[in-house]
Amino acid sequence: MIDLAKECGVDMVKFQAGRAEDFARRKKDIKKYKKYELHEGYKRLLFHGNSIGIPVFFSIWSREYEWLWEFEPYHKLAARQFSSRNIMMYDTPNTFISIPYRTRKIQNYNITDSMPLHCVSRYPAEKPHLEYIPLLRKYLKRDVGYSDHTIGINACVKAVKEYGAVVIEKHFTFAHDFGQLRDHRLSATPEEMREMVRKLKGE
């Protein structure tokens, strides 16, 4: 997948790192997510990306994987991992929400050297509410990106071209019917990813 993403022209690749117990929002979902856990090979993924010139990093959901921060060029924290005492992260339309931070105190992070991503946390998201990107940029007084959960690539293109997003996060899959996980439906296939990169970078 890293090689294929590189061929599609993307700038970086992100995976999930953590246990199902920490990732699942509901106890009944733990069993479902268990089969998607990656138990080893993290360094190999990082070094492979480095060897072909594409950064690889992780969304880290469990304390035992925080050692990856020593090797990652970047890392991602989801909105539900933040406390609103220092920053409010936008998650749903019309609402700045406070979510307990679960892994480390936010003071340990250089928030000024980060990229907030506007995201509607629905899978799939029928309305991406892209109009909140400039509002969030104005509120935070900094550049803002967009994390997409819609079907297709149109919202991603509009987020950049019409609303000023400077970073796009888009799920990636071999095919929409590759597996039962709902993410495949809203992920970009290689053909869609190449088209999105072409439209955003003019390549």
Q: Is the pTM of this model over 0.85?
A: no
* The predicted structure's pLDDT at residue 38: 86
* The predicted structure's pLDDT at residue 35: 86
From 15-19, 27-31, 56-60, 96-100, the region with the lowest mean pLDDT: 96-100
Of 94 and 168, more confident: 168
* The predicted structure's pLDDT at residue 56: 94
| Residues linked to residue 76 through DSSP beta bridges, in sequence order | 59
* The predicted structure's pLDDT at residue 14: 94
Strands 145-148 and 168-170: parallel
Instruction: Measure the CA–CA gap between 119 and 103, rounded to whole angstroms.
Output: 21
Of 118, 203, 134, 93, which is closest to residue 169 (Cα–Cα)?
118
For the segment 4-12, the average pLDDT, to the nearest whole number, is 97
Mean of per-residue pLDDT scores for the chain: 82
* The predicted structure's pLDDT at residue 81: 65
**Would you say 5 and 13 are in contact if contact means Cβ atoms under 8 Å apart?**
yes
From 53-62, 72-81, 103-112, 192-201, the region with the lowest mean pLDDT: 103-112
Instruction: Measure the CA–CA gap between 197 and 166, rounded to whole angstroms.
Output: 13
List of residues 6+ apart from 147 with CB closer than 8 A = 117, 118, 119, 169
Angle between helices 190-201 and 154-161 (to 10 degrees): 10
Which pLDDT band holds residue 151 (cuts at 50, 70, 90)? very high
Of 118, 105, 96, which is closest to residue 167 (Cα–Cα)?
118
Which pLDDT band holds residue 110 (cuts at 50, 70, 90)? very low
Q: Is the pLDDT of residue 62 over 90?
A: no
Q: Is the pLDDT of residue 105 over 60?
A: no
For the segment 138-163, the average pLDDT, to the nearest whole number, is 92
List of residues 6+ apart from 15 with CB closer than 8 A = 38, 45, 56, 57, 58, 59
What the block records as the tokens of 43 is 């360094």
- Residue 54: HSE in the Cβ half-sphere, 13 Å Cα cutoff: 18
Q: Is the pLDDT of residue 156 over 70?
A: yes
Residue 25 vs residues 21, 41, 80, 85, 159: alpha-carbon distances, Å: 9, 26, 10, 22, 28
Strands (E), the chain: 13-17, 56-60, 89-92, 95-97, 117-118, 145-148, 168-170
